[in-house]
Structure 1
Amino acid sequence: MKLTMAIAGFGKSANRYHLPYLALRPEIKVKTIYDHGFRHYPEAQQAWREQGVTLTKDFQQVLTDPEIQLITLTTPAATHYQLAKEALNHGKNVLVEKPFCQTKAEAAELLALARRKGLVAMPFQNRRFDSDFLVLQRVLQVGYLGRPLEVESHMDHYRLQATQVNGAMINGQFYGLGVHTLDQMVALFGTPKQAYFDIRPQQNQGDLDDYYEVDLFYEGFKAKVKSSNLVATPYPKFLLHGTQGSFLKYGIDQQENDLKAQIMPGTAGFGQDDPSAYGRLHYQNSNGDWIDKSLATPTGDYGRVYDAMLASITTGAPKLVSDQELLTVMALLEAGAASAGPHVVTL
């Protein structure tokens, strides 16, 4: 099946996480790219024009084109709700960059609108195809560690900077990065019973958060997701403890490093982890022997979000991110933003 689509927004997100993967998928045609200013990536703009893609500053041109079936929104977070609503009302399926919108109520409204019109609306949760997450998923599926007891997920950096930034939390680190780490845990474990939030400015001297720590409490299990810009010695990306052992994985998905270095999907070796960064298992087998095992990292592929979207639109396949998963993540984001200072919320 074929799909004709448009991209709204032509910033880093479109050029790093969407268009390079779409270029490898001939069954999905990018017909139009919309941006309100096209101030960035002039060489890429010219390259797409040469491939026959229309570049426009008029969003109505995208909305009223009968050939366009899907619009991917990579515009600023605060615009997502309104643009997605317009797209759905014009009969377009929508794939929305994170965060999907600002509140659970907005998300529920957009999902209900999509259902009424027989359309697909879904967030772009590309980090479900991070290689480090895929290997964690495999550890849980195989059951190396017995019953899982606790997992810790980090998305840290060392970026020392003196800033004074104020603004709505939708533009902060919790909504920007926390949405990914929360979605990964919800994808694995579902809706938690309670959640603890510590979200605050750490080095930013304004009121916009640049640090978060969230604990998700399940029956007999806890998941911690954490991000800081002042971590000079990295934690493991994932650390999982179970009744029969532990799993540890350092390092982010190599897709990220390759894309930053302008190495594109389809290049030999793209996204492949170095064996020195493979995850490590230390567990007790059924004979009572302690086993140390290295797990090769699967190669991630953010384009698989588009494969799933294509299947949902053209064949009615279940969405990669279910409506319940999206609403759970939105409820967690909203609960974290609801109160200043550390607090606990029952879901």
Structure 2
Amino acid sequence: MTKKLTMALVGFGNSANRYHLPYILTNDNLNLKTIYAHTLGKRPTEQAALEAQGIEFTDSLDAILNDPEIQFVSVITPAPSHFELAKKILESGKNVMVEKPFVTSVAEGKELIKLANEKGLLITPFQNRRFDGEFLELQHVLAHGYIGEPIEFESHFDYFRPGASSNPGEQIDGAFYGYGVHPLDQIIKLWGTPDSVGYDIKSVTNPDGVDDNFDVTLHYANLRAKIKTSFLVAQEYPKYILHGTNGSFIKYGMDAQENDILAGISPADPLFGKDNPDNYGVLKYINAYGDPVEHKLETPIGNYGQMYQNAADVVLDGADKEVTDAQIIAQLEILDAGFQEAGPHVVKFNQ
């Protein structure tokens, strides 16, 4: 008999419907019992379809906190609310996953991790882009040693929004927290905490608004890993640029899962998330015979649902967390340090 983890969602906006529900509803280890929506009926069509499947809706958080059947709660609300909600859920004895950005400060992150560990509960951010197809491909290239020792890595998360203008807000509302969390987490998973980080974070579209442009470089012993986001990139950069002592790997294009969800394709469809062959990564390296080799690598199919599968495995079977406590804190420290000074600056870690 398949083990089931009974869960609830807190939040029913775009993110819940786009990045979470399609994966939850197709996972045999998850039983979604309740969804908390601040305003019931705001999405009447979606709500009715889920209610027809037996899923309950409530506008009372206590209905979830006090339900003994619910073991696990996924928080999908605006970032400033994450800490208080996650803390209440942990205090009620339930495991928690929190959308990104995880919390607003290092202190908040440490407090949640301490509370979860004291209670023997799961606390984790929803780092879904560990399961982008292109990131799985990058890990394959590194694991097989094609490019030798990695020397330089660059990751882009760009858009072209010339009419946009950022609004005033806190640092958590800007692009570095909103977009930087993705490549930062990927780099931390691959190479750990850097020795130092160089920051250039600014707002281009509105000097008084939150940041919408960043160029941040993580320095390791023999590796420089750069992450960049801009909303004024009309000509696409490669998603990944990787150079090493024995070759290079270049990958264009973003993971296809989000577009497929928007097109109404289910994660259960065998073609879901399949990459465009024009975007397959190009690998150039020297083989064991000293000959230059160049070929395309088919992109693995990503699966954001693996974050939910890991949560089920942790709670039901005692598996290891996909995102470790140390990785959570490292990311929060790197994010926060980007705003310790105005303008370009460098912060040292691992001292």
Please, what TM-score do these two structures have when normalized by structure 2?
Answer: 0.97
Q: Could you tell me whether the CA contact under 8 Å between 2:249 and 2:283 is conserved in 1? A: yes
The structural deviation recorded for 1:159 is 1.3
Percent of matched pairs sharing the same residue? 49
Q: Is the 8 A contact 2:166 2:212 kept in 1?
A: no
Unpaired segments of 5 or more residues in structure 1?
A: none
Kindly indicate whether residue 152 of structure 2 is the aligned counterpart of residue 150 of structure 1. Answer: yes
**2:238 alignment counterpart:** 236
Are the aligned partners of 1:104 and 1:327 in contact in 2 as well (CA < 8 Å)?
Answer: yes
The answer on whether the counterparts of 1:165 and 1:205 sit within 8 Å (CA) in structure 2 is no
Q: Supply the distance in 1 between the matched residues of 2:166 and 2:109 (Cα, whole angstroms).
A: 30
Say which is worse superposed, 272-281 or 262-271, in terms of deviation: 262-271
- Cα displacement (A) at 1:204: 3.0
Partner of residue 291, structure 2: 289
Shift of 1:133: 0.6
- Give 1:59's match in structure 2, choosing from 61, 70, 82: 61
Structure 2 residue aligned with 1:80: 82
| 2:102 equivalent in structure 1 | 100
Aligned to 2:118: 116
1:33 maps to which residue?
A: 35
Distance 2:41 2:51 in 1: 15
Contact residue 8 and residue 75 of structure 1 kept, 8 A: yes
Alignment check: 8 A CA contact 1:153 1:181 kept: yes
**Matching residue's letter, 1:324:** A
Q: Contact 1:35 / 1:57 at 8 angstroms: preserved in 2?
A: yes
CA-atom RMSD in angstroms? 1.1
Alignment equivalent of 2:229, drawn from 227, 230, 234: 227
Aligned to 2:184: 182
**Which whole-Å CA distance do the structure 2 matches of 1:237 and 1:49 have between them?**
39
Could you tell me how far 1:267 is from its partner in structure 2?
A: 2.5
1:269 alignment partner, one of 257, 268, 271:
271
Which ranges of structure 2 fall in alignment gaps of 5 or more residues? none
Q: Deviations over 1:16-63 (max 9, x none)?
A: 000001111122011000021146432111111111111111111111
Q: Which of 338, 341, 344 is 1:342 aligned to? A: 344
**Whole-Å Cα distance in 2 between the matches of residues 39 and 245 of structure 1?**
55
2:166 and 2:203 in contact (8 A); partners too: no
Indicate yes or no: 2:54 matched with 1:71: no
Q: 8 Å contact 2:74–2:97 — kept in the other structure?
A: yes
Secondary structure at 1:337's aligned position in 2? coil
Q: Given the alignment, which residue of 13, 16, 23 partners 1:14?
A: 16
Alignment deviations for residues 203-228 of structure 1 (CA, whole Å, 9 cap, x no partner): 13432111111100001101001111
Count matched residues.
Answer: 347
Answer whether contact 1:80 1:96 (CA < 8 A) is retained.
yes
* Counterpart Cα distance in 2 of 1:11 and 1:204: 27
Contact preservation (8 Å) 1:11, 1:40: no
8 Å Cα contact 1:163-1:205 kept in structure 2: no
After TM superposition, the structure 1 stretch with the greater mean CA deviation from structure 2, 270-279 or 162-171, is: 162-171
